[in-house]
Structures are given as C-alpha cells and as structure tokens.
C-alpha cells in the first residue's frame, strides 16, 4: 500500500510540495527547521486524520492561510486510490476516490501509516491509554469487525457509567457490557499472540536484551469479565465509574526482568518503542503482504551509531515503504539508489 505521490499545500512551513515516492525507500534531508518533520506529519495526517506532534490540528495550517490540503495516491492490490484531507476552520474534510466525508478508518485502510519519531518513547513512558491506542491500531488492521466491537463497548461503557453516576442499578447494561468487552478483549488477545513473539525478536536485535511484552486485559487474571464485574460492583458504585474491563487494558514491557517504564534509560526506551512499532509493521505485513508506509524521523540524531545500524538493519528487512529523514546524506546507506529529497525552508526538491 505504498504512497506513490503526495501533494501538500500550506502545511506548516510548506507552501507547496509535490513528491513522487519510491515504493521501497525514500530519504529526505535538510537542516533543522527546514521542514522534514512537517513533511512526514503531512503524510501521517493523510493516513490517520491527525498529527503525531500536536492534538490541535489548526497549528498545522501555514501561518496566514485559511486551510491546508494534503493529497496522495496509494496503490492497494493493484488499484490506485486517491486520498485527500483538507483542514480549515470548518474542521477536517476527507475524500477517498472522489467521495467526500469518508471516515478516518477508510483512509487508514487505504494508507496505513506508522511513525517512529523523537517522542515515540512516550509510548513507553506515558500512561496506558497510549499503549491501548497502539495496540488497537494494530488490532484494527488485522481483525475484521474490531472497530464495530470497540465502538459498541465504548457506548455501553458510557451508559453503564452514566447509570453509576446517577446511583442507579447497572443490570440493564451488564450483559451487553460483558458481551462487547469480551469481543474487544478476544480480538486484542488474538492480535497480541502474533505481536508478542515479534517484539521479542526485533527487541533483541535493537537492544541486545531480552524484551518481553505482556498483555494486561483490564481485569484480574483468573476471572471472567462477568465475574470481575460482579466483584467490582461495590467499588464501581462508590466511584461512579466502571473499574474493570478492556478500557483498563495495558501492555507490560519488561527488559531483562525489569520494567522498561520504571528502569530503562531514555535511550533504551526509544529503542523499545521503535521495536514495538516495527513489530507492528511486521505483523501488519504478515497479514496484508505489505507493511504500509513507515515514517522514521531523524533516527541518526536520536540513537548512538550502534543502535542506528541495528535500526537500519531491521528497517531493511521490513516489507514496507520507508520514508526516512536526516540532517545530511552522510547517514545514508552507501548503496542508496533510491529517491532523495532535499528540504530547505519548506521547499522540497528531488535530488536523485
């Protein structure tokens, strides 16, 4: 599902840019502040409907402009699709093959984008919601019906919590809660069975340590969700919110028997985060025959040279379209031979 063409208008410092991309590897270089991250961010917006740098979409619009657009062409099973996003005061508008207002899920299916960037370690360091989002992103792409189950669960969780807040009984919601919750958990746990071993393998390559990922489903091991819900009834009432269930799920990450979140250095956390994301790309590729688009922002600035080489080795083994950035062409593998772009003050120019 490579992105073969991208056209950007009024995205941060990029007034206008058009890039014809290779299906395999692409390299973007330029000085600090040139617009490299902005370019990746624009591609990410096209596939995910949001940025990886800010929650406030309006910051993405070039100063003094009313709105931005990103247009791209991506090939899925030999069919070329046209995707577009337009962001203005009216919000985010999406288009896919001429139809407007398609959901982000449809964009994501047409242009699956992953990113490794300087704040990726928040996946490790941050709260469980970041890891659930990461997990669910992977589940969404391999489990048909997951999005539907997840939405059903969110809905009934909201209804149950509303009842708890008003001091009402929850019997009307409990059966639906358990049913939807089990569907969400089942899909996550099937996905996790694929992800876990890949994380161990890629984690060993990147960190030289034993990395063990575990799936915490959101309630006590050994209990069914129905049993856990019953056991939590009292606390739920007291707190006015449901305390157990898939909305409390998390991933445990242990390196050589120590919690990565608690003990690993920032540099190690960056590598572990990269290992998680790359593993997701590999699982995705195993399912779809293609890993989608992988954006990697300035890894040379983030990693020591040994870690950087290990990362490049893993990147080369992945069947995904790679768009990599860096300060100069010095970090580029010598046998490059793939498109190289130079960015300077928001202007993107192809140099190879």
Ligand X SMILES: Nc1ncnc2c1ncn2[C@@H]1O[C@H](COP(=O)(O)OP(=O)(O)O)[C@@H](O)[C@H]1O
Instruction: Name the residues that contact Mg ion, by CB under 5 A.
Output: 36-37
Closest distance to Mg ion from the beta carbon of 220 (Å): 43
Nearer to Mg ion, 108 or 293 (CB): 293
Partner whose binding site includes residue 62, from ligand X, Mg ion, none (CB under 5 to 8 Å by kind): ligand X
Q: Does 69 bind ligand X (CB under 6 A)?
A: no
What CA–CA distance (Å, rounded) separates 278 from 205?
Answer: 11
Sheet holding 211-216, edge to edge: 211-216, 250-255, 258-259
Q: Does 32 bind ligand X (CB under 6 A)?
A: yes
Nearer to ligand X, 205 or 347 (CB): 347
Nearer to ligand X, 37 or 279 (CB): 37
Q: Does 299 bind ligand X (CB under 6 A)?
A: no
**Cβ-closest residue to Mg ion?**
37
Partner whose binding site includes residue 252, from Mg ion, ligand X, none (CB under 5 to 8 Å by kind): none
Window of 36-44, 96-104, 180-188, 244-252 that interacts with ligand X by CB under 6 A: 36-44
What CA–CA distance (Å, rounded) separates 147 from 287?
Answer: 17
Q: What's phi and psi for 94, nearest 5 deg?
A: -120, 150
What CA–CA distance (Å, rounded) separates 130 from 122?
Answer: 8
Closest distance to ligand X from the beta carbon of 295 (Å): 12
Contacting residue, 9, 45, 51, 62, with ligand X by CB under 6 A: 62
Q: Does 37 bind ligand X (CB under 6 A)?
A: yes
Closest distance to ligand X from the beta carbon of 12 (Å): 4
Q: How many helices (H) and strands (E) does the chain have?
A: 11, 15
What CA–CA distance (Å, rounded) separates 304 from 197?
Answer: 26
Partner whose binding site includes residue 38, from Mg ion, ligand X, none (CB under 5 to 8 Å by kind): ligand X
Q: Does 16 bind ligand X (CB under 6 A)?
A: no
> Is residue 49 within a helix (H) or strand (E), and if so which, with residue range?
none
Closest distance to ligand X from the beta carbon of 345 (Å): 8
Nearer to ligand X, 36 or 188 (CB): 36
Q: Does 34 bind ligand X (CB under 6 A)?
A: yes
Closest distance to ligand X from the beta carbon of 50 (Å): 15
Contact between 297 and 325 (Cβ < 8 Å)? yes
Checking phi first, is residue 212 left (phi over 0); if not, alpha (psi -120 to 50) or beta? beta
* Strands (E) located in the chain: 3-11, 14-20, 25-29, 67-76, 79-88, 91-96, 99-100, 113-116, 211-216, 250-255, 258-259, 293-296, 321-326, 340-344, 347-350
Q: Does 63 bind ligand X (CB under 6 A)?
A: yes
Residues that bind ligand X (CB under 6 A): 12-13, 30, 32-38, 59, 61-63
């Amino acid at each position: 599902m490579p992105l073969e063409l991208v056209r950007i208008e009024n995205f941060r410092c990029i007034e206008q840019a058009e890039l014809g991309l290779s299906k395999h590897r692409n390299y973007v270089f330029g000085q600090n502040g040139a617009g490299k991250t902005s370019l990746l961010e624009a591609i990410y917006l096209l596939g995910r409907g949001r940025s990886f740098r800010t929650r406030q979409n309006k910051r993405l619009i070039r100063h003094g402009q009313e709105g931005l657009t990103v247009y791209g062409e991506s090939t899925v099973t030999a069919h070329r699709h046209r995707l577009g996003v337009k962001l203005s005061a009216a919000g985010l508008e999406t288009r896919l093959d001429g139809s407007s207002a398609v959901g982000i899920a449809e964009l994501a299916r047409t242009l699956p984008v992953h990113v490794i960037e300087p704040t990726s370690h928040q996946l490790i360091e941050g709260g469980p919601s970041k890891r659930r989002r990461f997990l669910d992103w992977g589940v969404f792409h391999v489990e048909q019906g997951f999005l539907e189950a997840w939405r059903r669960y969110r809905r009934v969780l909201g209804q149950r919590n509303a009842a708890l807040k008003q001091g009402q009984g929850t019997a009307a919601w409990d059966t639906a809660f358990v049913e939807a919750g089990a569907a969400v958990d089942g899909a996550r746990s099937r996905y996790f069975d694929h992800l876990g071993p890949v994380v161990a393998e890629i984690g060993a390559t990147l960190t030289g340590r034993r990395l063990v990922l575990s799936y915490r489903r959101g309630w006590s091991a050994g209990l069914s969700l129905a049993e856990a819900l019953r056991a939590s009834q009292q606390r739920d009432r007291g707190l006015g919110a449901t305390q157990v269930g898939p909305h409390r799920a998390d991933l445990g990450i242990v390196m050589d028997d120590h919690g990565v979140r608690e003990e690993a250095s920032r540099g190690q956390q960056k590598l572990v985060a990269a290992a998680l994301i790359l593993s997701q790309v590999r699982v995705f590729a195993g399912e779809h025959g293609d890993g989608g688009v992988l954006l990697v922002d300035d890894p040379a600035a983030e990693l020591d040279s040994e870690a950087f080489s290990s990362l490049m080795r893993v990147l080369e083994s992945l069947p995904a379209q790679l768009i990599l950035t860096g300060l100069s062409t010095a970090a580029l593998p010598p046998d490059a031979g793939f498109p190289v772009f130079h960015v300077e003050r928001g202007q993107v120019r192809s140099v190879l």
